[in-house]
Amino acid sequence: MFASSTRNIPAVRAVPRHLAIIMDGNGRWAKQRFLPRVAGHKQGVETVRRVVGACIERGIEYLTLFAFSSENWRRPSEEVSFLMNLFVTALEREVGRLHGNGVRLRVVGDLAAFEPRLIDLIRRGENLTADNRKLTLTVAANYGGRWDLIQAFNGLALAYPEKAGNYTENDLQPFLAMSYAPEPDLFIRTGGEQRISNFLLWQLAYCELFFTDRFWPDFDAALLEEAIASYRRRERRFGRTSEQLPAAPDAVLPAPTLSTDA
Ligand code: IPE
Ligand code: IPE
Ligand code: MG
């Protein structure tokens, strides 16, 4: 089980171990180019491929991408269907490549709302890549932070009814959708909005936040590097004072020299 940032102070590394991204701005990217919104979503898949490569190069162990929120069903039905079809196509095309690159794929969210064909592709992709450890790529689909907390509390209450009234953080953790991952160290939101939009509410408790105006289809390895550099300059105190912090030896490591794109 991974340590909770509110119960134990996690080790601070020069490169985030877990990066979580809200991939926002696809629609506006397309609009700027006088293209339909969905063209932005299509281009966004290309960005995902690039960013997965860049994360592997940088030694990031967990990458979590918000692909479809529990509130995105409110969009026009044509856009929702396009996104579902895009998810199917992306899985069909990309899972083999992910597997070849040592990526473990996980999908978190309320999958019951998806078509059986999509659920089947997800399960097959997860099973195929289950033993890969270079990078764990989590796609949050029909995910909502509140949905996650409610399903976790319900799971916990059903499993240990006798402990009701005395549940602890450690009791809840195994029931959260991403119990297999440490908490994110760095959060990036593209597209200019500075909000969480019901993403990982529990897990972002002590995460470092980075916001950029760049639209997701234009996100690249250079901007990822900028986010990591910003992360590296932060003082992660977890409630302590500056004076209490240990000298972090890996915080002075030189930034890795890497190509600007993957
Ligand atoms: C993010 O881009 C993708 C999804 C939410 C599926 P948007 O579609 O939200 O793009 P904007 O924010 O309207 O530009
Ligand atoms: C957040 O983006 C969800 C995803 C990127 C999947 P939205 O575009 O849906 O967020 P809001 O509605 O602007 O907060
Ligand atoms: Mg948006």
Q: Which amino acid is at 5?
A: S
pLDDT of residue 151: 98
DSSP 8-state code for residue 163 = G
- Count CB neighbours of 66 within 10 A: 24
> Cα(69) to centroid of ligand 2, in Å?
7
Q: Is residue 6 part of a domain?
A: no
> Cα(259) to centroid of ligand 2, in Å?
30
Closest CA to 145 of 236, 62, 207, 59: 207
- Which tens digits make up the pLDDT trace of 150-163? 999 999 999 999 99
Residue 132 has pLDDT above 70, yes or no: yes
> Cα(256) to centroid of ligand 1, in Å?
32
Q: What percent of the chain has pLDDT over 90?
A: 90
Q: What percent of the chain has pLDDT over 70?
A: 94
Selected residue with higher pLDDT from 93 and 250:
93
3-class secondary structure, 20: strand
Residue 20's φ and ψ, nearest 5 degrees, are -120, 135
66 lines ligand 2 (CB under 6 A): yes
Work out the mean pLDDT of the chain and round it to a whole number.
94
69 lines ligand 2 (CB under 6 A): yes
Beta strands in 150-221 (DSSP E): 186-189, 208-211
Note down the domain range covering 167. Answer: 18-234
Residue 97 has pLDDT above 60, yes or no: yes
Contact 135, 106 (CB under 8 A): no
**Domain of residue 32, CATH code:** 3.40.1180.10
Residue 171 has pLDDT above 70, yes or no: yes
Q: Is residue 8 part of a domain?
A: no
pLDDT of residue 261: 45
Instruction: State which ligand 2 atom lies nearest to the alpha carbon of 67.
Output: 6
Compute the average pLDDT of residues 57-83: 98
pLDDT of residue 247: 77
How far is residue 191's CA from residue 238's CA, in Å, rounded to a whole number? Answer: 28
Q: Is residue 248 part of a domain?
A: no
- Which tens digits make up the pLDDT trace of 14-24? 999 999 999 99
Residue 235 has pLDDT above 90, yes or no: yes
Q: Which pTM was predicted?
A: 0.94
Could you give the number of structural domains in the chain?
1
pLDDT of residue 246: 85
Compute the average pLDDT of residues 123-141: 98
pLDDT of residue 1: 78
Instruction: State which ligand 1 atom lies nearest to the alpha carbon of 25.
Output: 14
Q: Is 26 a catalytic residue?
A: no
Residues 160-196 as b/e (b if ≥16 CB within 10 A, e otherwise) read eeeeeeeeeeeebbebbbbeebbbbbbbbbbbeeeeb
Residue 251 has pLDDT above 70, yes or no: no
Q: Is residue 130 part of a domain?
A: yes
pLDDT of residue 258: 52
> Cα(25) to centroid of ligand 3, in Å?
5
Q: Is residue 48 part of a domain?
A: yes
26 lines ligand 2 (CB under 6 A): no
pLDDT of residue 260: 46
DSSP 8-state code for residue 184 = P
Q: Is residue 95 part of a domain?
A: yes
- CA 201 to chain CA centroid, Å, is 12
Q: Ligand 2: which residue has its CA nearest to atom 9?
A: 72
- Which tens digits make up the pLDDT trace of 173-209? 999 999 999 999 999 999 999 999 999 999 999 999 9
Q: In the structure, what pLDDT confidence band is assigned to residue 250 with cuts at 50, 70 and 90?
A: low
Q: In the structure, what pLDDT confidence band is assigned to residue 262 with cuts at 50, 70 and 90?
A: very low
Q: Is residue 241 part of a domain?
A: no
pLDDT of residue 2: 85
Compute the average pLDDT of residues 70-85: 98
Q: Is residue 252 part of a domain?
A: no
Q: One of 8, 72, 101, 154 is an active-site residue; which one?
A: 72
pLDDT of residue 252: 47
Instruction: State which ligand 1 atom lies nearest to the alpha carbon of 83.
Output: 6
Contact 30, 73 (CB under 8 A): no
Quick one: which ligand is closest to 68's CA?
2
Q: One of 8, 24, 170, 171 is an active-site residue; which one?
A: 24
